[in-house]
């Protein structure tokens, strides 16, 4: 498993329980608004790959902290690109940790296998844009049906999960949020995450965030289809 960074103690993922966050390098998308191009673009990724954290050191840490920590959160850039993700989850589970996976849903098969083996306790999945139009935001050629299959795997699962959309001015509007929400209606949780400008993959992508009122309006629209809608600022 390629581990590019670890946040040892975090309350960001679950405010009521402590998590360790593991970051894996590489992503199949090229979103303009990505804040971590060094972990995404192959020409920059070379430097990251020279300084990976040893898996053994990570598991030593987990062994020692068994009584303080509850969750291991595996985040990307896109963790399903790691060929040994399943083994990695098995090892974490063998230490009695709960596992959360963040994904941009590039691989429904691996998600299904992980769920079938009870290796996941929570999944957070990006829904970046309207279903059938994801390519518009990912800047990569996509087989949309694969992404839709992953949504369905999760909708039919028994675990807790969230869908989430980073909402961006000039890209998302009320109609887009309504179309996304309709598609994932009756899902367990939907988070609207406000875009923040910064060191983005596309340096010209410097747009302002939505106001709280605009976010509340999106929430109201999404709430017509999904009971639990949350705003993340
Ligand atoms: S999916 Fe996430 S990590 Fe990948 S390019 Fe888009 S914002 Fe960056």
β-pairing, 19-23 with 5-10? antiparallel
More confident residue, 28 or 99: 99
pTM of the model: 0.93
Q: Is 40 in the pocket of ligand 1 (CB under 6 A)?
A: yes
Please say whether the beta carbons of 33 and 195 come within 8 A.
Answer: yes
Give distance in angstroms: CA of 79 to centre of ligand 1. 11
Q: Indicate whether residue 76 lines ligand 1 (CB < 6 A).
A: yes
Using the predicted structure, report yes or no on whether residue 28 has a pLDDT greater than 90. Answer: no
Ligand 1 atom at minimum distance from 40 CA: 5
- Which tens digit of pLDDT belongs to each residue from 201-217? 888 887 899 999 999 99
CB 83 within 8 A of CB 45: no
User: Of 35, 228, 28, 229, which is closest to residue 147 (Cα–Cα)?
Assistant: 28
Question: 5-232: what fold?
Answer: TIM Barrel (3.20.20)
Q: At what angle do helices 55-64 and 85-94 cross, to 10 degrees?
A: 20
Span 111-136, average pLDDT: 91
- On whether the CB atoms of residues 165 and 172 are closer than 8 A, the answer is yes
Residue from 35, 77, 105 whose mutation best tests the ligand 1 pocket (most atoms within 8 A of CB): 77
Q: What is the pLDDT of residue 105?
A: 76
Helix intervals (H) in the chain: 42-49, 55-64, 85-94, 108-116, 135-138, 144-155, 174-183, 212-222
Q: Reply yes or no on whether the pLDDT at 138 is more than 80.
A: no
Q: What is the pLDDT of residues 150-171, one digit of tens each?
A: 889 999 999 999 999 999 998 9
Residue 31 Cα to ligand 1 middle (Å): 6
Q: Give the pair of three-digit tokens for residue 10.
A: 């975090």
Cα separation, 32 vs 20, in Å, equals: 28
pLDDT in tens, 67-116: 889 999 999 889 999 999 999 999 999 999 999 999 987 788 999 999 99
188: its two tokens: 């367990």
């Amino acid at each position: 498993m390629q581990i590019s960074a670890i946040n040892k103690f975090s309350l960001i993922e679950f405010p009521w329980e402590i998590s360790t966050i593991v970051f894996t390098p590489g992503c199949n998308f090229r979103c303009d608004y990505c804040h971590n191009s060094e972990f995404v673009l192959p020409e920059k990724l070379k430097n990251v790959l020279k300084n990976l954290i040893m898996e053994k050191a990570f598991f030593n840490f987990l062994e020692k902290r068994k009584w303080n920590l509850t969750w291991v959160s595996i985040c990307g850039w896109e963790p399903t690109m790691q060929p040994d993700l399943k083994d990695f989850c098995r090892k974490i589970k063998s230490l009695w940790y709960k596992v959360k996976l963040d994904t941009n849903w590039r691989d429904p098969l691996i998600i299904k296998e992980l769920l079938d083996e009870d290796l996941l306790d929570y999944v957070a999945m990006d829904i970046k844009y309207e279903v059938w139009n994801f390519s518009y935001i990912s800047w990569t050629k996509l087989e949309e049906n694969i992404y839709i299959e992953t949504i369905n795997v999760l909708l039919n699962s028994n675990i807790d999960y969230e869908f989430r959309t980073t909402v961006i001015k000039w890209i998302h509007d009320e109609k887009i949020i309504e179309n996304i929400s309709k598609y994932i209606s009756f899902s367990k949780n939907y988070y609207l995450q406000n875009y923040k400008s910064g060191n983005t993959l596309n340096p010209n992508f410097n747009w302002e965030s939505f106001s709280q009122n605009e976010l509340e309006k999106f929430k109201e629209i999404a709430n017509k289809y999904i009971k639990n809608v949350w705003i993340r600022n």
